[in-house]
Structure formats: structure tokens, C-alpha cells
Amino acid sequence: MTGSAQIWADDSKRFVVATDRGDIPVVVAAPSGSPRGTVLLVHGRNGAPGQPQIAEIAEAYLARGWRVAAPELPNSIALPLSGPPEQVTFSGHTSAAAGVWTWLARQWPDAPRALSGHSIGAYAIAHLAAASPETHHVLAVSPPLSGRVLLAAREAMGPAAIEAVKREAPGYFAEMEAADAAPALARIAAPLAVVTGAEDGLVPLKDARAYFSAAPNGRFFAALPGQHHCPMGEECGRVLTDALMALGA
């Protein structure tokens, strides 16, 4: 990771935000000087702000002078105090992120606000951006256009993969057929960028492209060779920086 990893790891603050989904901890880090804006950085299923693929995105924003607010959303196996991971759903993940997005707007009302997300975090931010015309930009990493995309990937892995998700997250599985970000993406006015792993088995390259193509103001798309669902490393950091430059961040 880049040098700003120390900023994310050591100089962050924690807030506890009251939402309709209960109290949600939010990790916040800011660059030196006055931030250019604030980004809500949303992790995916069983994600956490400290995971490498999330820290990579945070570092790119901090290096560009943006404040980063990364919530610890409910029902993640990576966050033992977040509630039962088997209760995660697409709709619950989105509504929890929306509660933090509302808080962020109250906390820093006078600065630009942007959205970034990984995996189903990218699914969630599509809905938030569609309802928020003031959004400065959207940066999606490994973004599934729909639950059907993720279901198809598991179907390709075989029956055991389907049974595993049924067992691990029955509500999430139940929403897979209907969860769809395409209508929300079509309503996003903000510029949008997508960064994905070219070898991603959960969100194949064609599906990441479909997410990008569904937005009317797509500005930047990159697929990282040799990277999978959780891209990270120096090349990823460089591409994220290029994406932010393209988005005017």
C-alpha cells in the first residue's frame, strides 16, 4: 500500500451514527489542511473499513485531499459487533449506508460530497447517488449491476456455491433475483468511474462494464490485469488516482 496507509490506520477518528438501522460506527480520516470534500466509502458484504481493498481506496482519496468516512455497516462477518452476518441483505446494506450518507451531509454541509463503494457497497451507492443530485462523483470498485450477476457467478461455480450462500445469508440469497441497480444508475447525474479486477470471478468483466454503461455520465473505466474481486497494490493505487483525476476529485 501507499504511504498514506499510516494516515488511514493511525490518524482516523471514530464516530457513532444513529440511523434507522441502529447505531453505526464510522471511521473518519482527513488529510492535512482543509479537505477538498468528503467521500462516503462503503464496504461490501462481509467487509470492513480496515480491509486492504477498502484501505486502498481510502488512501487514494486522502492523497487527493479528500476526507474519508467509512462506515462499519451491519451484519458483516469481518465486524464481530455488527450483528449476525446471516442477516445481511442488499436492501439492508443500502438503507444502512443511506443513514450514514444523511449524517455525512449534516456533518459537513458546505463541502462537496462523493460516493465510493466496493462490491455490494457499489450496488448501494448507485441508489444513494440516484437520490442525491448534489453528489460530486461516484467511484465504484468491483461493482455488481444486480443480484442476478452475483447469483450467476455462483451458479457457474456449482451447486455447492449456491448452497453456501443460501446457508450463510438466506435474506441476501432471497433478494438476488430482484436486486437491480440499473434503474438507479440511469438516474445518476454525477460523473462515474469503475475500477475492477480483470480476473474477478464474482463480478465478471462484462458485468462491471454493464454497471459502467448503465450510467449516463461514465468518465473512466479500468480493468486491472491479474486482479480479482478485491483489487489492491501499487498498480491499483495508480489507477484509482487516475480515476479520481478523471472525476475532477
| pLDDT tens by residue, 124-144 | 999 999 999 999 999 999 999
Question: 64 Cβ partners below 8 Å, 6+ apart?
Answer: 36, 241, 244, 249
Q: Is the pLDDT of residue 51 over 90?
A: yes
Residue 201 to residue 176: CA distance in whole angstroms: 17
For residues 76 and 67, the answer to whether their CB atoms sit within 8 Å is: no
| pLDDT tens by residue, 180-218 | 999 999 999 999 999 999 999 999 999 999 999 999 999
In the chain, how many domains are there?
1
Q: Is the pLDDT of residue 3 over 70?
A: no
CATH number of domain containing 200: 3.40.50.1820
Print the domain residue range for 164. Answer: 5-246
Percentage of the chain lying above the pLDDT 90 cut: 92
The predicted structure's pLDDT at residue 32:
84
| pLDDT tens by residue, 6-40 | 446 566 889 999 998 899 999 999 988 899 999 99
